Amino acid sequence: MNDPIMSQPVCSRRNFLQLSAGTLASLALLSVPKLSFANSTKITTTNLVNCPTDPLIVVEQSEMIQNAYKKIISTVKSINNSNLRKTVLDIIENPAPTIMKQYPSSNHIETVYQKLLTQNLVDQNKVSWETLFPKYSSANKMQQPFISAPGSGYNSHHSYPGGLVTHTATNLCIASAICSIYQEVFGYQVNRDVVIASEALHDLHKPWVFQWNEDGSCLTELPIAGTGSHHILSIAESIYRSLPADVIVAQACAHNHPGSEKDEADVVGWIKAASIIAGKDPIALGLLSNDGGALPTPHKQEGYITHLADHDWVLSVPAAQKSIKALQEVAKSDYNMTIADLKSAKFNHFRNYIGAQVSMMQINHAMADGGGKPSVKSLVNRVIIK
């Protein structure tokens, strides 16, 4: 998901070969047995005074997040190719911005910024060379673990510590199911290794882009090449680390598919921007056609499947937005928070802990499944006792 720039996604992501992506994703889920990693997760209660503020502590106390992370690791370990499996695991375990090894000084960053600007891959009214890359301490060290990062910008999907894990685990389940469905219904196998690797890595730099602030909010994402910077930086990281071309192209398709010339142009632009940042030639690597104007042909299905599997946002974005509003109402009515509190660290840590314990999805389900606000209150009161 492209966040927060894409909180209102472009139309092309709503349409895939005249078939609803949501429909295919739902069909995929129907073929999957009940997901044991999320069944009857235990809630760890706290009170408002002792509500954890450290994202690492928040995720440590969440059985839901821990189980989802285990699901990611077990799914990645199912990749057959040993080199690919090891590379993906290494990145999940340490999503360091190794691409920054190329930028030892501000002059190097200014140079790459000018290259992007020359090719209209960055908007100077929104991004300067100083803000092109998020802050970081070392090119060899992650800014935060994969497990503690949010799934998106602070008012979008899974925007709580561990949200990236629940988002990725969900997408991997969908991706794996689509692969199985195609084999069962159509009698052929796509390259599952490529699908799982690209889906696992499609948001690999959200831990870098969406770093937590002390007040419990996260950094605001800026755009590169018309999409959220996390997408471009993630592709660039895969290019820099020399992942297979098929994986990188499929990963780039997460935000759009090459089903039309216009949609394909988006993916081409993202690969060009990522290649510039990674300091690599996308044509030489087999990421683009010989003239650099298209993806390699024929288009492989793994990219389309990666795109389909990244459609958790169709439900989770509105679910999050409605749930956050509901949490604000409960915070006022049951925890005596003021309007000012709702814009402060007090509410941020409150909503972060609740999100990590039960997810915004479960809150939205409780609200939508006939229980309304009383059900939300009951669920919140189970997490944070008054």
Query: What is the per-residue pLDDT across 275-322, written as a single tens digit (0 to 9) for each?
Result: 999 999 999 999 999 999 999 999 999 999 999 999 999 999 999 999
Whether residues 77 and 184 fall in one domain? yes
Amino acid 155: pLDDT: 87
Residue 353 has pLDDT above 80, yes or no: yes
Q: Which domain holds residue 385?
A: 315-386
pLDDT in tens, 66-83: 999 999 999 999 999 999
Lowest mean pLDDT across 32-36, 200-204, 250-254, 265-269: 32-36
Give the pLDDT of residue 369.
Answer: 83
- In this structure, are 319 and 270 located in the same domain? no
8 inside domain:
no
Q: Is 6 part of any domain?
A: no
User: Which of 285, 311, 337 is where one domain is finished?
Assistant: 311
Same domain, 379 and 266: no
**Does residue 117 fall inside a structural domain?**
yes
Identify whether 376 is part of a domain: yes
Nearest to 358 by CA among 327, 318, 325: 327
Residue 44 inside a domain? The answer is no
pLDDT score of 151: 95
Residue 5 lies in a domain: no
State which of 277, 311, 345 marks the end of a domain. 311
Residues 346, 371 within the same domain: yes
Q: Which segment of 41-45, 163-167, 301-305 scores lowest on mean pLDDT?
A: 41-45
pLDDT score of 40: 59
Percent of the chain with pLDDT over 70: 90
Lowest mean pLDDT among 19-33, 298-312, 330-344: 19-33
Whether the per-residue pLDDT at 252 is higher than 60: the answer is yes
Final residue belonging to a domain, choices 273, 290, 311:
311
Packing angle, helices 345-366 and 63-76, rounded to 10: 70
The count of structural domains within the chain is: 2
Residue carrying structure tokens 């209150």: 377
pTM of the model: 0.89
Question: Which whole number is the average pLDDT over 86-106?
Answer: 97
**Residue 57 confidence (pLDDT):** 98
Residue 194 lies in a domain: yes
pLDDT grade for 92, boundaries at 50, 70 and 90 = very high
Residue 204, in any domain of the structure: yes
Shared-domain flag, residues 151 and 259: yes
Q: Do both 102 and 199 map to the same domain?
A: yes
- Same-domain check for residues 125 and 229: yes
386 pLDDT band, cuts 50/70/90, is confident
Say if residue 169 is in the same domain as residue 252. Answer: yes
pLDDT of residue 126: 97
Segment 130-158 shows an average pLDDT of 95
Question: Are 108 and 138 members of one domain?
Answer: yes
Is the pLDDT at 19 greater than 50? The verdict is no
| 69, 158: one domain | yes
Domain identity same for 355 and 227: no
Query: Are both 369 and 280 inside the same structural domain?
Result: no
Please name the residues in contact with 254: beta carbons below 8 A apart, sequence gap of 6 or more. Answer: 198, 199, 202, 203, 231, 306, 307, 310
Confidence (pLDDT) at 370 = 74
pLDDT, average across residues 31-44:
57
pLDDT > 90 in the chain, percent? 87
